[in-house]
Amino acid sequence: MPELPELEVIRRQIEPLMVGRTVSRVGTTAESNFFLTKPAVLKRHLSGRRVRALERVGKYLVASLDDGSRLLLHLGMTGQLFGAGVDSPRLSSPVARARSAVRTEKQKFKPDLHTHLRLSFRDGGQELFLRDVRRFGRVQVLKPGESCARLDRLGVDALVATGAHLFAMARKRRIAIKSLLLDQSVVAGIGNIYADEALFLAGIRPSRTACRLTGRQCIELMEAARRVMLRSIETGGSSIRDYLQPNGSDGGYQNERLVYARAGRPCVRCESPIVRTVIGQRPAHYCPKCQPAK
């Protein structure tokens, strides 16, 4: 679900709830693949720990703790982080949200069976909830100095990566350019929405073979990706299915998206119907005119 912009919005909102605070209680659901560190170990390890910093690395959130260990969070497809103080976070589909929107009275977040992690803090800090319906997300504790293949494997952060870097990586690869953008070891943070949006802005068809792009195109593509993601962060991210900000409100970027999940609707530039295909087992959307095959 969440990509770099959503993770960055989440990080900014969650940071003041975590940093400088000491964990008093840890609640979890039962052992599952969601917990790379078993719930019992997690509880023992986190209790009493003070959070020093909360950083984003690609699509991961990394909390540094006062004993030098780190708490790793990944939200997979449907992960959500909420602060306890939020009013009425609407947790289901847009349709269900619309239905429940008529309910006007405010409610505090209520943990349900999908709320897999619950952190309480001392000194009256707000509680923190991690909810993930599909459990594609992951939680892990790294001991002081412990390395982690998942993190080590990540490429340059997508907000920092240059077109020259993308070009250098693209030259060696025969996969579709869209698949290359989604490869977290090349550039970290881009997901399915922003890959499609960036390719549209750069006028490049997602199916084009990566190594056949010019240096100029790689520069334009990387710049488009950065522009789109920075704008999305400004608007609070894309709320299309499950994503909500930690404060419970929708993001705004879903209203600015130009191709993602707009199949059949007119291109904003040329009116041609947007096409949906599948590339690398993921849905891909593009304008057949503005993003030429060759």
Binding residues for DNA (CB under 7 A):
1-3, 6, 32-33, 58-59, 74, 76-77, 92-96, 114, 133-136, 150, 153, 172-176, 179, 182, 184, 191-193, 237-243, 261, 280-283
DSSP string for 20-35? T-BEEEEEE-SS-TTB
- Identity at 106, one-letter amino acid code: K
Q: Please state, in angstroms and rounded to a whole number, the distance separating the CA atoms of residues 209 and 53.
A: 40
The distance of closest approach from Cβ of residue 47 to DNA in the complex, given in angstroms and rounded to an integer, is 26
Reply yes or no on whether 282 is catalytic.
yes
Residue of 3, 8, 15, 127 marked active site: 3
CA distance 180 to 172: 11
Cβ burial of 186 (10 Å; 0-12, 13-18, 19+) is buried
Cβ nearer to DNA, comparing 83 with 237: 237
- Active-site residue flag, 70: no
- Is 47 exposed, middle or buried (CB count within 10 Å of its CB: 0-12, 13-18, 19+)? middle
CB of 179 to DNA, least distance (A): 6
Active site residue 2: yes
CB of 37 to DNA, least distance (A): 15
Nearer to DNA by Cβ, of 127 and 197: the residue is 197
Catalytic hit among 150, 231, 282, 289: 282
Q: How many CA atoms lie within 13 A of 290 on its CB side?
A: 23
Q: Which is nearer to DNA, 109 or 121 (CB)?
A: 109
d(CA 88, CA 85): 10
Residue count of the chain, please give it.
294
Indicate which residue of 11, 21, 56, 59 is catalytic.
59
Residue with Cβ nearer DNA (280 or 288)? 280
Q: How far is the CB of 158 from DNA (least distance, A)?
A: 11
Active site amino acids: 2-3, 59, 282
